[in-house]
Amino acid sequence: MMDDWISERPSNQYYLGELINIEASVLQFHHVPLRVLVDSCVATAVPDVNAVPRYSFIENYGCLLDAKLTQSGSHFMPQTQAAKLGFQIEAFRFQQGNSSLVYIACILRATAASAPADAEHKACSFSDNRYVAVTVMV
């Protein structure tokens, strides 16, 4: 996404350390209002989630590990719509490969927007040496 979080970025080229804006969303259709969550995300150098090298940067049902592991500025954005969840990760590349491409695959979960957060339904970022739940502004 662009920095305004409204339009998609026209290019997928980033410089090392630049923030990448990623948005997960769920279409409502005729369901009860839904909240989208990101259970896990992994980055690989090839389009295979089981490939090595691989970097798992969201784990444990929605905890963004990147800032803890790399002291980066990666974090979840405040959630202003239940059906959309944004996060930022710093652009990186794998040292073990000669390609500058990185493939990202995430497992998403949609729950009732009215359901409370719990151990398996959360979004948290690492900040000030602890995990902090995403701010919900819905």
47 is a domain residue: yes
- CATH number of residue 127's parent domain: 2.60.40.4100
Q: Which residue has the higher pLDDT, 19 or 137?
A: 19
65 is a domain residue: yes
Give 57-80 as a DSSP string.
EEETTTEE-HHHHH----EEPPBS
- With a CB cutoff of 8 Å and minimum separation 6, the contacts of 27 are 83
28 is a domain residue: yes
Residue 34: exposed, middle, or buried by beta-carbon count in 10 A (0-12, 13-18, 19+)? buried
Query: What local confidence, expressed as pLDDT, does residue 48 receive?
Result: 95
Q: What tokens appear for 137 in the block?
A: 């502004």
89 is a domain residue: yes
H/E run at residue 109: strand 103-112
Residue-range definition of the domain harbouring residue 124: 19-133
Mean confidence (pLDDT) of the chain: 92
Q: Is the pLDDT of residue 136 over 90?
A: no
Query: What local confidence, expressed as pLDDT, does residue 86 receive?
Result: 97
Residue 91: φ, ψ to 5°: -65, 140
13 is a domain residue: no
4 is a domain residue: no
pLDDT band at 95 (very low <50, low <70, confident <90, very high): confident
Residue 84: φ, ψ to 5°: -135, 140
The amino acid at 118: D
8 is a domain residue: no
Residues above pLDDT 90, as percent of the chain: 78
Number of domains in the chain: 1
Query: What local confidence, expressed as pLDDT, does residue 98 receive?
Result: 74
Q: pLDDT for 3-55, tens place per residue?
A: 999 999 998 889 998 999 999 999 988 889 999 999 999 999 999 999 999 99
Query: What local confidence, expressed as pLDDT, does residue 138 receive?
Result: 65
